[in-house]
Amino acid sequence: MSRLFLICALVAPLYGAAASANGATEVNATISASTGHDSNALLEVSPAGTQARARGWFLGAEADLTLHLRRQGWSVLAEYSGDGRQAPTFGAIVWHAIDLSAQWRQGTTRFDVAVVVQQLFTSRYQEDNWVGAGLRLGTSIAPADRWRLRLDLGTQLREGSIATQFFSNTAASLRWQPSAAAAVGLNAQGAWLTPSLLNTQPIWQRYRCGPFGTVAWHSFIFAAAPFLGTRLLDHQAVGQIGAQAQVEHLLRWGFQLRAGIDLTKEFGETSAGRTDRLEASLAVAWSSTSPKPRLWEAPVDPATDIAPRIIGGRLRFRVRAPHALKVEGVGSFDDWGAGITLRHGESGVDDVWEGWIVNPACGPLRYRFIVDGVAQTPAQAPRYVADGFGGVDGQIDISVASCPPDEKTSPDVSPRPTSSF
Amino acid sequence: MLNSVTTVLLSAWFSAAALPADPRLGAVKARMQVVVDEAERERLPVELLLSKMREGLAKRVPPPLIAAAVERLVVALREARTLAQTRSAHPPSARLLQAIAEARLAHVAEEPLRRVLAARGNEAIHQLAIESLADLKLRGCEPETAIPVVEALMVKDPRSLSLLPSLIQSLRQDFALTSAEATFSVETSLKSERSLQSAAVRARSDNAAGGKGAAHTDGLNDDGANRGRGVQSNPGKGKANGRGKP
């Protein structure tokens, strides 16, 4: 707990300084709790590759705090993660990480350089506890509308050894309704340890593929991802079959509630045996900017669609502003009040800023974007209206079908749900 | 005596519409209060004026320009009420008045508005039609040219009136048509179709067959749904944390 206060004490002045600087800043926090059952999991705990067996029920908790400062053409992200797990077989394992990264973009490619400091504490294997520092290089390429490739490579020095990890994720998606999407993805990750220069030991590798889909309904988003894969451990492989599912509820004031379940069943024989896993988690997340449905990860690049869309009872705004520092959305949704702050790069395209309005009221909704303090007419608005100040507002009609249930009425005639010809 | 004076003062106090309490309005607040009080006496929808002030503040418009816009809106609302009286003896709704006033502010001439208001249909249909004319004007399409299509839609498919401007714009862009050509294309298609949706398909088909531009095959289904959303098949932080979760 004292560590959390320490982190908060460090982050608060940083946030204050960043918020006063000429750039966009956002803070996100997530607290989650989980429980589950491992039949025979292996946990790598030491530089020498000491592996602890985990069996039976476990309890876990995780906290994440991020501070994102964005400047023209690049951004800086500071993240703290704390993860604790308690199980009778291996005692307590607590892991802390501070990740400081810088990102910039070149065409359709985004680059990411990060410095990572981590600490692992175990109550039962204290001789193997370690503190490490490392470097991570990542890139994300989105050359086409429907697929994106992401690759991260990291290396880390830990008290006499080098750990290397890779991670890649490729996905191609398909959408067929405003509130539903499906995709197929391939995911690979693994890690090696190098106790000495001439000795590299693969610890584990994992490859998975499968479809994943989402459906949005009012302020809920349901997501599921069955998968088929393989896990390699000491050059022996076992097959994996499983599924992940998540439901997310967007609350007020930037809060989100998420519940998830993760089930993995292994088949095949190895000397290390098989591991079946069942895990359930519950998380509360908060964001300082406009609430946005956040799934496990957006798999594709929505390169061109910047029209406002009603998705699952929420209204999504997008605007292309490649060199902007701050983009806000103002409109009749809050009677031209404070508006919302759009977030950069959330759509998967760095040029595009995105913001969401939860449960917009039925009827015509007018809006305008404020890009770095200057009002701009939205592109691809379904309708346009002169604003009387010499400018033009965008307008979208929130149809009866899209309204929250308690606002449904039966007008004499209501415009058709927004569509693009 | 004292009671009646108090009553008068209290009723005046409570009936006065409250301007937005934003210090930026300071220099023009008195001027705005006069305009709002006058509008209230004339039974114009004062909330529209207050909303316009809030809108101007949200858009960082300088206060003198906000004041000028509110004054123009009052004039347009008066004009709108006169025009709306040609439709029905009943007092028009605030939304219809707003639609007419904004159409006038968008430089839509009176004649197309009169034609729409004289056409058969309820108030909501008239409002949608007028909003479409104003939208078309802002997109560079003259309302006088579009009136036949609007009138046809008011009868055949009034719910689609709001989609007409974007259809005409997309036809112009996709087939390199003038606004008059695009409008005529929709008008012609609508004669043999019962909805704007099917008329759009026919117009696209006709224009593609005419070789005037690239065929746009999937425009009607291009709802842009939910791209960028989905579940990662295998959540992982991808960081060099060395923490094995094999």
Phi/psi of residue B242, each to 5°?
65, 5
Select the more confidently predicted residue: A397 or A252.
A397
Q: B199-227: per-residue pLDDT in tens? A: 898 888 888 765 433 323 222 222 222 22
Per the structure block, which two tokens stand in for B10?
Answer: 């209290």
Give the start-to-end residue ranges of the domains of chain A.
Answer: 2-287, 309-407
Q: Enumerate the H helices of chain B as residue ranges.
A: 2-15, 29-41, 46-58, 63-84, 94-105, 110-118, 123-138, 143-156, 164-175, 179-192, 196-209
Q: What share of chain A is helix, strand, coil (3-state, %, to 5)?
A: 5, 65, 30
Backbone angles phi, psi at A33, to 5 degrees: -125, 145
Q: Do A171 and B231 touch (CB under 8 A)?
A: no
pLDDT given at position B102: 92
Residue A280 scores a pLDDT above 90: yes
Residue A222's alpha-carbon distances to A31, A261, A293, B113, in angstroms, are 20, 12, 10, 47
CB A77 within 8 A of CB A113: no
Chain B residues with CB under 8 Å of A311 CB are: 225-226, 229
Residues of A in contact with B105 (CB under 8 A): 386, 388
Listed ranges A62-76, A122-136, A276-290, B124-138; the one with the highest mean pLDDT: B124-138
% residues pLDDT > 70 (chain B): 78
**Residue B111: HSE in the Cβ half-sphere, 13 Å Cα cutoff:** 7
Q: Which amino acid, one-letter code, is at A212?
A: F
Name every residue whose Cβ is closer than 8 Å to that of residue A225 and which is 6 or more positions away in sequence.
Answer: A210, A211, A212, A213, A243, A244, A245, A296, B231, B232, B233, B234
Q: Pick the residue of B24, B66, B136, B234 with the most A CBs within 10 A to test the interface with A by mutation.
A: B234
CB of A368 within 8 A of CB of A306? Answer: no
**Chain B closest-CA separation from residue A285 CA (Å):** 17
- Quick check: A97 and B239 CB within 8 A? yes
Of B131, B135, B230, the CB nearest to A183: B230
A 10 A CB-CB count for A54 gives 21
Distance from the A9 Cα atom to the nearest Cα atom in chain B, whole angstroms: 24
- Angle at which helix B63-84 crosses helix B29-41, to 10 degrees, equals 10
ipTM of the prediction: 0.71
Q: How far is B187 from chain A (nearest CA, A)?
A: 16
Q: Considering only the beta carbons, identify the residue of B58, B139, B158 that sits closest to A384.
A: B139
**Closest residue by Cα to residue A344 from A304, A290, A286:** A290
pLDDT of residue A177: 54
Question: Helix B164-175 crosses helix B123-138 at what angle (to 10 degrees)?
Answer: 30
* Domain A309-407, architecture per CATH: Sandwich (2.60)
Phi then psi dihedrals of residue A334, to 5 deg: -125, 35
Choose among A186, A330, A347: nearest Cβ to B228.
Answer: A347
Residue A163: list chain B partners with CB under 8 A: 240, 242
pLDDT of residue B228: 25
> In Å, how far is A294's CA from the nearest CA of chain B?
8
Give the separation between CA A217 and CA A312, rounded to whole angstroms: 4
- Kindly report the number of other CB atoms within 10 A of residue A67's CB atom: 23
A215: which strand partners?
Answer: A180, A222
Candidate from A136, A184, A335 with C-beta closest to B240:
A136
- Contacts of residue B69 in chain A, CB cutoff 8 Å? 387-389
> What would you report as the CA-atom Rg of chain A, rounded to the nearest whole angstrom?
23
- pLDDT for A363 equals 83
Distance from CA of A345 to the nearest CA of B (A): 11
Q: Do A4 and A30 form a contact (C-beta atoms < 8 A)? A: no
Neighbouring CB atoms inside 10 A of B140's CB total: 11
CB B106 within 8 A of CB B137: yes
Strand ranges in A123-160 using DSSP code E only, listed in sequence order:
130-144, 147-158
Q: Which two tokens stand for residue A285?
A: 């997340």
- Spell out which residues of chain A touch residue B149, defining contact as CB-CB under 8 Å: none
Mean pLDDT of A328-354: 80
**Distance between CA atoms of residues A264 and A287, nearest Å:** 31
Rounded Cα distance between A67 and A316, Å, is: 23
**Residue B16: pLDDT over 80:** no
Instruction: Tell me the pLDDT tens digit for each residue of A37-76.
Output: 988 777 766 656 666 777 888 999 999 999 988 776 678 8
Residue A385: how many other CB atoms lie within 10 Å: 23
**Local structure of B144: helix, strand or coil:** helix
Single-letter residue type at A48: A
pLDDT on residue B219: 26
The residues pairing with A188 across neighbouring beta strands, listed in sequence order, are: A168, A207
pLDDT digits (tens, 9 = 90+) for A399-420: 754 544 444 333 355 555 444 4
* Residue A398, beta-bridge partner list: A363
Look at residue A175 in the predicted model and tell me its pLDDT.
57
Query: Looking at domain A2-287, which of 2.40.160.40, 3.30.300.160, 1.10.150.120, 1.25.40.10 is its CATH number?
Result: 2.40.160.40
pLDDT score at A356: 86
Per-residue tokens: A232: 């390699």
Percentage of chain B surpassing pLDDT 90? 37
